[in-house]
Amino acid sequence: MERLQKVLAHAGIASRRKAEELILAGRVSVDGQIVTTLGVRVDPRHQRILVDGIPIEAERKVTYLLNKPPGTLSTVHDPHGRPTVRDLLRDVPERVYPVGRLDADTSGVLLLTNDGELSYRLTHPRFGVEKVYRALVQGRITDGALRRLSEGVPLEDGMTAPAKATLVWRGDRRSLLELTLTEGRNRQVRRMCEAVGHPVLELTRIRFATLTAEGLRQGSYRRLRPSEERKLR
Ligand code: URA
């Protein structure tokens, strides 16, 4: 027997916290009874669990790749009505959730899935999934600053892990660099660049694991091919 919110999270319905919200909102039933309290234990193999009247196991596992435009939030709902990445997935019927986050101002590769286990494997630092960012930064970056980025930078939540930092070009007022990270801390690239004296002007994620946004205009998305999903797993 497992807690209902955990079962929902594992079924890829929502994060644990969001699953709790679904329960409290009266959208979840177990064997025909609406459950509105947290902590109820269920056996998903022998009990019929519905969210909005749909059996939780009925939804096939799907993953989409979005080329996120700047100005959209990496959530599925914003209480203030601002545009979210979910709004862009117009023809997607499944309840998919972003795999990790990109800042509102960051563009590029963002995966969305209803496969909770896959999402966990792709975001937990212990699996060390590579994320590659292109950052346009202020100022002419020095080799020393690039070295510091790659060796690790002290941030308020601790030292960053070693990363790959390569120069694409540098001018007198701006530089373009590529950073490959295996961690996924909040605003990590922006904070790292700021810490070495080069605030980020524009940020794009150009690769997540093996996936790039090649062939996708900003704002468009596609379903992953079975071979791509296999590789991710
Ligand atoms: N690092 C950042 O600073 N922002 C992002 O959106 C992703 C990584």
Q: Strand 28-30 vs strand 49-51: parallel, antiparallel, or unpaired?
A: antiparallel
Cβ of 27 closer than 6 Å to ligand 1, yes or no, is no
pLDDT for residue 93? 75
Q: Strand 28-30 vs strand 200-208: parallel, antiparallel, or unpaired?
A: unpaired
Three-state secondary structure call for residue 122: helix
Cβ of 163 closer than 6 Å to ligand 1, yes or no, is no
For the ranges 69-78, 103-112, 147-156, the lowest mean pLDDT is seen at 69-78
Give the confidence band of 116 by pLDDT, cuts at 50, 70, 90: confident
Give the confidence band of 156 by pLDDT, cuts at 50, 70, 90: very high
Cβ of 134 closer than 6 Å to ligand 1, yes or no, is no
* C-alpha angle 120-94-49 in degrees, rounded to nearest 5: 80
| Tokens matching residue 128 | 């060390």
Give the confidence band of 161 by pLDDT, cuts at 50, 70, 90: very high
The helix (run of H) or strand (run of E) holding residue 84 is none
pLDDT for residue 58? 57
The one-letter amino acid code at 79 reads: P
| Tokens matching residue 62 | 């799907």
Asked if the model's pLDDT at residue 233 lies above 90, the reply is: no
pLDDT for residue 66? 98
Cβ of 106 closer than 6 Å to ligand 1, yes or no, is yes
pLDDT for residue 11? 75
Asked if the model's pLDDT at residue 107 lies above 80, the reply is: yes
Task: Give the list of residues 6+ apart from residue 153 with CB closer than 8 angstroms, or none.
Answer: 159, 160, 191, 192, 195, 196
**Pair 68, 102: CB distance under 8 Å:** yes
| Mutation test residue for ligand 1: of 190, 204, 206, 208, the one with most atoms within 8 Å of CB | 190
Name the closest-CA residue to atom 4, ligand 1.
Answer: 187
Average pLDDT for residues 99-112, to the nearest whole number?
97
Give the confidence band of 59 by pLDDT, cuts at 50, 70, 90: low
Output the CA 74–ligand 1 centroid distance in Å.
11
| Tokens matching residue 190 | 């922006």
Ligand 1 closest atom vs CA 184: 8
Output the CA 166–ligand 1 centroid distance in Å.
17
Task: Give the list of residues 6+ apart from residue 47 with CB closer than 8 angstroms, or none.
Answer: 30, 31
Average pLDDT for residues 70-75, to the nearest whole number?
95
The one-letter amino acid code at 65 reads: L
- Condensed to tens digits (0 to 9), the pLDDT of residues 4-55 reads 998 887 776 777 888 999 999 999 999 999 999 998 999 887 889 999 998 8
Query: How much helix, strand and coil, in percent to the nearest 5, is found in the chain?
Result: 25, 30, 45
pLDDT for residue 152? 96
Q: Is 31 a catalytic residue?
A: no
pLDDT for residue 184? 87
Sole residue written with tokens 């509102």: 104
Output the CA 177–ligand 1 centroid distance in Å.
14
- Strand-pairing partners, residue 82, are none
